[in-house]
Amino acid sequence: MTKAKHVAIIMDGNGRWAKKRHLPRAMGHKKGVEAVRKVVRAAKDLGLEALTLYAFSTENWRRSEEEIGALMGLMKAFIIADLDEFAANNVRLRIIGDYKAFPADLVKLIEGALERTAGNVGTTLAVALNYGSQDEIARAATKAAGKGPITPETIAAELDTAGMPPLDLLIRTSGEVRLSNFLLWQAAYAEMLFVDTLWPDFTPEHLAQALEQFVDRERRYGGR
């Protein structure tokens, strides 16, 4: 019986949530941000050390300009509206992925938020922005190669998640059963949970339930 320390979520299904209601996709993303807000609070209340959220993949640039613009706008609004709460609640923000590819005003907001929460030692909220696991591993391997022989440890030390607790539980919402280039390395021994709930409908209760299920799973790491 161990408690999960690090949970990651592939927040999927915003578009389908909107479609079911005959709303534009952006409305699904807007509702998705509300779910993020509640789940981050819950992660803190449940005592998680780290929560990693997949917000924008290296492949999401293939979406329409309109949808990408809506997502960027929501990211900005989220940082502006929620930074005070993170700061007050000892939440440390971290970004995985190459976020510097985003527009300069968003990069500036992100960096301000990173700086402001850098001293916080409560829950770490890692947001995956312009993140792709293959890109992350390639970047890490390049850095590791410059420093000597490559081993799993030297690569892990250069990943965007370096220093975070090992990934315990990976959740994907919306019924899709794939990783979509998320945390491929880190998920080596993570437990996986695929739920049908669309992300905007995902609640703190769903997270609490997922953590309860995790406690009952027997992890073997190849040994007996």
Q: Which of 7, 9, 11, 12 binds Mg ion (CB under 5 A)?
A: 12
Q: Which helix (H) or strand (E) holds 96?
A: strand 92-96
What is the end-to-end Cα distance of the chain in Å, rounded? Answer: 16
Q: Which stretch binds ligand IPE (CB under 6 A): 11-19, 40-48, 94-102, 202-210?
A: 11-19
CA 151 to chain centre: 26
Helices (H) and strands (E) in the chain, counts: 7, 6
Asked if 130 touches ligand IPE (CB under 6 A), the answer is: no
Burial (Cβ within 10 Å: 0-12, 13-18, ≥19) of residue 48: buried
> Closer CB to ligand IPE, residue 120 or residue 194?
194
- Would you state the structure tokens that stand for residue 5, as one six-digit string? 């320390």
> Where in 138-197 is the site for Mg ion (CB under 5 A)?
none
Asked if 16 touches ligand IPE (CB under 6 A), the answer is: yes
Asked if 200 touches Mg ion (CB under 5 A), the answer is: no
Query: H helices within the chain, ranges in order?
Result: 14-20, 25-45, 65-88, 104-117, 133-145, 152-156, 204-215
**Inter-residue contact 18 to 199 (CB < 8 Å):** no
User: What is the Cα–Cα distance from 199 to 15, expressed in whole angstroms?
Assistant: 9
> Where in 148-177 is the site for ligand IPE (CB under 6 A)?
174, 176
In the numeric block, the tokens 């492949």 are attached to 59
User: What is the Cα–Cα distance from 158 to 37, expressed in whole angstroms?
Assistant: 29
State which residue has the least CB distance to ligand IPE.
15
> Closer CB to ligand IPE, residue 11 or residue 39?
11
Q: Which of 114, 180, 194, 217 binds ligand IPE (CB under 6 A)?
A: 180
Size of site (CB under 5 A) for Mg ion: 1
Helix (H, G, I), strand (E, B) or coil at 24: coil
> Closer CB to Mg ion, residue 78 or residue 182?
182
Residue 55's binding partner among Mg ion, ligand IPE, none (Cβ under 5 to 8 angstroms by kind) is: ligand IPE
Q: Which of 6, 7, 8, 13 binds ligand IPE (CB under 6 A)?
A: 13
> Where in 183-222 is the site for ligand IPE (CB under 6 A)?
199
12 is catalytic: yes
- Applying CB under 6 A, the residues found at the interface with ligand IPE are 10-16, 54-57, 60, 71, 174, 176, 178, 180, 199
Please give the positions annotated as active site.
12, 60
